[in-house]
Amino acid sequence: MADIIKLLPDHVANQIAAGEVVQRPASVVKELLENAIDAGASSIKLIVKDAGKTLIQIIDDGKGMSDTDARMSFERHATSKITTADDLFNLNTKGFRGEALASIAAVAHVALKTRPEGAEVGTHIEIEGSKIITQEVCATPKGTSLAVKNLFFNIPARRNFLKSNSVELRHVIDEFQRVALAHPDIAFAMYHNEGELFQLPKGNLKQRIVAIFGGKTNEKLVPVQEETDILTINGFVVKPEFSKKTRGEQFFFVNDRFIKSAYLNHAVTAAFDGLLPDRARASYFLYLKVDPATIDINIHPTKTEIKFDDEHALYAMLRSTIKHSLGQFSIAPVLDFNR
């Protein structure tokens, strides 16, 4: 019988991988914001048009790329962040899969301008459906600007599958807020159709929360803090009387990465036991730090789920810490840790 198995061409493999990494404009926003943070940016700007359907642009003042790296960055499995599988258990970057830019470039028009510090000129690259159509030197500020236009231009089924602009914009804002909350030490700005949505100066965590959710948030927060051998917990829970019935603010960050965990959410809810009004949900901004060797982030390409070595211990610690903070707050409501 004749042989029938062939290796898929790169652009086809990239488009398949994109199916998992790039579901909607918000997924692009998340990947690009994370790249800017990994590049050491101190100020990051997000510009979006039509909820990201026609334009998503991220401008950072990070370390930039050489012209060779700029080209390489769009190759599949091309990364500067890990070199061996062992590195996966000692991660201090958001990225490591080397897939995002290759995936995005397979399903959109991409324009990159980048310049590392010390270089006199930068690099300008344009890509359409994985093919480089322009590469030239250019004048550009230190750092990187990446514009993603016409997402899913070559996959009409995916493009039609996108929701209304207001729904897609909501998702974009959610991703933006998650990243901004994880990094209060970085300045962020966001613009939609030329209007400014967020202007977030550098600050501490409390200032960042207030800058995003409004001045009234300040008096609603109860500080949470605990440090043990296996876990550090920092952040705030929202006083029970301000909890919401619908969509509350529920944020877990593990090692500065936003994650979703029904199990840890349950631990927080358990700590609020008896304090929440009927059917209300706890709101919280909780920052957990654990030894990277005790977690696995490589469960899904979007990296919003984590596998913990000792989930039960974390649950118990989280619950008792929050219970304690809520208890302290009710006897000494004037305490302000000013963090």
C-alpha distances in angstroms, 220 versus 111, 182, 280, 283? 43, 20, 15, 10
Which residue, 58 or 268, has its beta carbon nearer to Mg ion?
58
For residues 199 and 213, the answer to whether their CB atoms sit within 8 Å is no
Question: Least distance (Å) from ligand ADP to the CB of residue 304?
Answer: 15
Closer to ligand ADP by Cβ: residue 69 or 226: 69
- Return the structure tokens found at 300: 């899904």
- Bridge partners (DSSP) of residue 149 are 55, 109
- For residue 300, with 0-12 CB atoms within 10 Å meaning exposed, 13-18 middle and 19 or more buried, which class applies? exposed
> What is d(CA 175, CA 30) in angstroms, rounded to the nearest whole number?
6
Contact status: 122 vs Mg ion (CB under 5 A): no
| 95 forms part of the interface with Mg ion (CB under 5 A) | yes
Q: Which stretch binds Mg ion (CB under 5 A): 32-40, 64-72, 159-167, 271-279?
A: 32-40
Rounded Cα distance, 124 and 127, in Å: 10
* Distance from C-alpha of 246 to C-alpha of 228, rounded to nearest angstrom: 34
Which region among 12-20, 75-83, 129-137, 311-319 touches ligand ADP (by CB under 6 A)?
A: 75-83
Distances (CA, A) of 336 to 102, 236, 276, 328, 329: 47, 12, 22, 12, 10
| Minimal distance, residue 193 CB to ligand ADP, in Å | 23
Residue 25 near ligand ADP by CB under 6 A: no
Shortest distance in whole angstroms from residue 78 CB to ligand ADP:
6
The number of helix segments (H) and strand segments (E) in the chain equals 9, 15
**Residue with the CB atom nearest ligand ADP in the bound state:** 95
Q: Does position 78 bind ligand ADP by CB under 6 A?
A: yes
Which of 28, 59, 70, 100 touches Mg ion by CB under 5 A?
100
Among residues 46, 55, 56, 65, which is the contact residue for ligand ADP, using CB under 6 A?
A: 65
List contacts with Mg ion (CB under 5 A).
Answer: 35, 95, 100
Q: Which spans of this chain sit near ligand ADP (rule: CB under 6 A)? A: 31, 35-36, 39, 60, 62-65, 73, 78-81, 95-102, 144
